[in-house]
Amino acid sequence: MTKKMANIGFGMWKIAPVDCERIIVEAIKAGYRHFDCAADYGNEEAVGAGLKAAIDQGLVTREDLWITSKLWNTCHHPDHVEMACQKSLSDLDLGYLDLYLVHFPIALEFVPFEVRYPAEWLFNPEAEKPEMRRAQVPLQETWGAMEALVDKGLTKQIGVCNYNSGLLHDLMSYANIKPSALQIESHPYLTQEKLIRLAAQYGIAVTAFSPLGALSYFEIDMAKPADNTLTEKNVQGIAVAHNKTPAQIVLRWGIQRGTAIIPKSSNPRRMRENLNIIDFVLSEEEMAAISALNANRRFNDPGEFCEQAFGLFNPIYD
């Protein structure tokens, strides 16, 4: 039987390597089985140690787990896709991934792993004038190499992140192995109704990253306190009515509209809080009131951060 991805996963972005083992073991004890990882998060070796510790302690088996990783932008060329996947597998200490995703529809010049890993966005961060260097690699070629990973058994499923509707139509026109998953930023300020509806039409499961909204962007100065969905009056009122926290309401809205969610928390109480959202249902009116908060407010936007941080205007959303 094909394994199913749990619709509440655990996001590993911005978890420091030193904290990974403790957090993964705590998260598995809390009930998480789906972990969302990426080469670019710079912590896959530590994640691997955490998964191994949990397995060695008898908390779970590999088969109980759903592990996602992502192909970084510098490895889009077909010559580099398998080595990138193998590197993630070896760091994660796994024989296969459940899902491997193209992290961004952005191809950057390859950086050898021994020069810098993860390569991040800049080609030459030590240079006097560091550059973010685009590579001319069509996404179709990258996808062909992703399909080969499935054929070789390195990953069970493949998918994409941060694609818009146009790219999704294009991908579906040439994919021999169809993407099973689309991962996009989505929360009450960025509801993405059209893209989610299109993915459903194509039979692609959608995972919402940053499902709580701005929270994970405060510390990296990409959001302001006023951007907080959890302090919205509507959300707080609905939380009181259901005797839940505002975070639980926002996350419940996420799964009730059919997306998977991958909140991250370093705190065991909040880890459990974020899982404890299946014992109540939001009414149609409550769902609509939360969706009405949409402001097309995107926190993770290469069109903004690439220019600010890396000196290259590089939008991927219009």
Contacts with ligand A2P by CB under 6 A lie at 11, 13, 210-212, 215-216, 247, 263-267, 270, 273-274
**Residue 90, CA distances (Å) to 40, 86, 108, 159, 189 in order:** 15, 6, 23, 20, 37
Distance separating the N- and C-terminal Cα atoms of the chain: 40
Tokens standing for 60?
Answer: 């779970």
**Closest distance to ligand A2P from the beta carbon of 98 (Å):** 20
Closer to ligand A2P by CB, 124 or 266: give it: 266
Cβ 103 vs Cβ 161: under 8 Å: yes
**Closest distance to ligand A2P from the beta carbon of 138 (Å):** 31
Residues 6+ apart with CB under 8 A from 9: 32, 34, 35, 36, 66, 68, 207, 260, 261, 262
Closer to ligand A2P by CB, 87 or 264: give it: 264
Closer to ligand A2P by CB, 147 or 304: give it: 304
> Which residue's C-beta sits nearest to ligand A2P?
216
Q: Which residues are catalytic?
A: 41
**Closest distance to ligand A2P from the beta carbon of 155 (Å):** 23
**Closest distance to ligand A2P from the beta carbon of 127 (Å):** 31
Task: Report phi then psi at 212, rounded to 5.
Answer: -90, -10
Cβ 217 vs Cβ 299: under 8 Å: yes
Cβ 262 vs Cβ 32: under 8 Å: no
Closer to ligand A2P by CB, 11 or 118: give it: 11
**Spatial separation of the C-alpha atoms in residues 262 and 12, rounded to whole Å:** 9
